[in-house]
Amino acid sequence: MDIKTNPSEKRPFTKRKLIQSGEDKVSIVQIIGFTLIFIGVIYLICKLLCPCCTAFTGAELAIDFFIIMLGVAFAFPDLLQDNTGGLSTMRIVVFMMVNVICILLLDIGWGKPSLTVIGLDPYWVGVIAFVFGSKATQSYFESKMADVTKVANTVVSPQAATVNQPTNTNRQSGAGNFQYQLGKTIAKTDLRTLKFGDYFNAQELPTPPDSVAWGNQLLANWGMMQNDNFPDCTCAAAGHMIMNWTGNVNSKTPIVLSDSQIMQAYMKVSGYDPATGENKTGIACLDVLKLWNQNGIGGHVINAYVSLDVSNQSYIKNAIYLFGGCYIGLQLPNSLKDTSNSWTVPATGAVANDAPNPNNGHCVNIVGYDTNNLTVISWGTVKSMSWDFFAAYADEAYAILSNDWFNSSSGKNPDGFDVTSMQNDLNAIKNTPAS
């Protein structure tokens, strides 16, 4: 089977790029932003340099300033985003307040010889102090939250803490027999995350078939996607889901994201700095899903995602059947070997060395199931996972709605399930504020 690879292999970056949205693809909003900046700057230059133009008035300068700053907000959306990639209400408020103050000062004070002539009263001095105080407070708490997140995302191996073992805090290999990397942190919760059981009527759902084998369309080797060198399993699983979706629809040729594209997503969420090696830590499934939904991974943006009750086998089957797979998080036991292709619970049960270990967090995608087992992709290989293993070690699961799963002509998935109305509903729900 032919594998389509993305031709542009780009080196990872840490600095802000001119174009951020959609993984190196400029968005329409950003085009509008750059256009506004261009118009504002050209107008400013013409008014200042052209001898035929009348002199600036305060109102004209204030309007021109507003146009340029509005363009900056559109062209560089990450200016108004927090460290998770979502819009920050505090940043928006501070940005707007600063702009209002600057516009008023330009309008009133343009042409005045000094600030004293403007006559700033104590009220306006207080407003200005409040704005910059708010910005300082926002920066302080964002840095504190970043520190807390960094600590929470760092998985410390018991072996690494002993004096007889080399200390390597960068390697997220867990506490078991793992020669590769792990990388999933403890499951996060967000009140805005839609729950599958709350949204879908179980009586109206189609009965899932006894077996599903979406992964049979692909090769045995799915690619490591850097999970042998980095704790990026949450991003690698996303890449494998894109392969599974695209390998089952349209031309049935899977799209394989480059390692660079996977690493861009990992660095965006974790803050990893390739120059210093800092922040080489695990990341949460939910943070990757938010990035995937808001900014995309490798140019592929998902429409929405819903959380699944891991104890409800019917929901898991329906998610795999209807949505072309399932994105899950596991707490693997110390006894498991990552080279094993059959994951089962020992006869003695999930206890002692076979118990779930939160330090061994791992994210995989499910591409099929039958009566006894699920088929998962982990570390680039196809593995068999028993339903008992899933019940014992899975701590989170998500169904993901993606255009990659729909035929571009019919708008249906490979089994002919029409999801147009559901897609519209979920698009309306996904930006609902947290309660």
Confidence of residue 423 (pLDDT cuts 50, 70, 90): low
Residue 300 banded pLDDT, cuts 50, 70, 90 = very high
Q: Average per-residue pLDDT in the chain?
A: 77
Give the span between the Cα atoms of 157 and 181, in whole angstroms. Answer: 12
Question: Can you give the pLDDT at residue 10?
Answer: 39
pLDDT of 146 > 70? The answer is: no
Structural Rg of the chain based on CA atoms = 26
Name the amino acid, one letter, at 430: K
Instruction: Mark 234-266 as b/e (b = at least 16 C-beta within 10 Å).
Output: bbbbbbbbbbbbbbbbeeeebbbbbbbbbbbbb
Whether 254 and 6 have beta carbons less than 8 Å apart is answered as no
DSSP string, 148-212: HHHHHHPPPPTGGGSTTS---TT----SSB-SS---B-SPP--TTSEEHHHHS-TTTSPPPPS-E
The residues with which 306 forms a beta bridge, in sequence order, are 194, 399
pLDDT, mean of residues 50-68: 79
pLDDT tens digits, one per residue of 389-415: 999 999 999 999 898 998 877 778 787
Q: Sign of dihedral through CA atoms 409, 413, 418, 419? A: negative
Query: For residue 406, what pLDDT is reported?
Result: 85
**What is the reported pLDDT for 149?**
42
**Quick one: pLDDT band at residue 349, thresholds 50, 70, 90?**
very high
When pLDDT is averaged across residues 293-320 and rounded to a whole number, the result is: 91
CA 326 to each of CA 320, 322, 367: distance values in angstroms, whole numbers, following the listed order: 5, 10, 7
Among the residue ranges 37-41, 83-87, 198-202, 390-394, the one predicted with the least confidence is 198-202
Residue 418 has φ and ψ, to the nearest 5°, of: -85, 120
- Between 325 and 151, residue with greater pLDDT: 325
Does the pLDDT of residue 144 top 90, yes or no? no
Q: Which pLDDT score, from 0 to 100, does residue 202 have?
A: 58
pTM over 0.75? The answer is no
> Which residues are CB-contacts of 424 (< 8 A; sequence separation ≥ 6)?
none
Please report, for residues 38, 135, 408, the alpha-carbon distance to residue 33 in angstroms, rounded to integers and kept in the order given.
9, 23, 30
| Segment 1-28 mean pLDDT | 44
For residue 62, the model assigns a pLDDT of: 80
Question: Would you state the pLDDT for residue 317?
Answer: 93
Is the per-residue pLDDT at 75 higher than 70? yes
pLDDT of 25 above 90: no
Q: Find, among 418, 198, 429, the residue nearest to 307 by Cα.
A: 198
At residue 155 the predicted structure's pLDDT band, cuts being 50, 70 and 90, is very low
* pLDDT confidence band for 374 (50 / 70 / 90): very high
Going from the N-terminus, what domains does the chain have, and what CATH number goes with each? 28-153 (no CATH), 194-429 (3.90.70.10)
Q: How confident is the model at residue 262 (pLDDT cuts 50, 70, 90)?
A: very high
Residue 8 is predicted with a pLDDT of: 40
* 313, pLDDT greater than 80: yes
Q: What is the mean pLDDT of residues 35-55?
A: 83
The CA-based angle 186-305-414, given to 5 degrees, is 125
Whether residue 236 is predicted with pLDDT greater than 50 in this model: the reply is yes
**Confidence check: pLDDT of 107 > 80:** no
Q: CA 166, CA 181: separation in Å to the nearest integer?
A: 17
pLDDT value for 47: 78
- pLDDT at 192 exceeding the cut of 70: no
Lowest mean pLDDT, pick from 200-214, 219-233, 297-311: 200-214
Pairing of strands 342-343, 381-386: parallel
Residue 256, pLDDT score: 93
Mean pLDDT to the nearest integer, 117-145? 62
Q: Which residue has the higher pLDDT, 289 or 33?
A: 289
Instruction: Indicate the pLDDT class of residue 148, thresholds 50, 70 and 90.
Output: very low
Q: Are 360 and 350 spatial neighbours (Cβ–Cβ below 8 Å)?
A: no
Query: How much of the chain, in percent, has pLDDT values that exceed 90?
Result: 38
What CA–CA distance (Å, rounded) separates 34 from 72? 7
Q: Work out the number of other CB atoms within 10 angstroms of the CB of residue 174.
A: 30
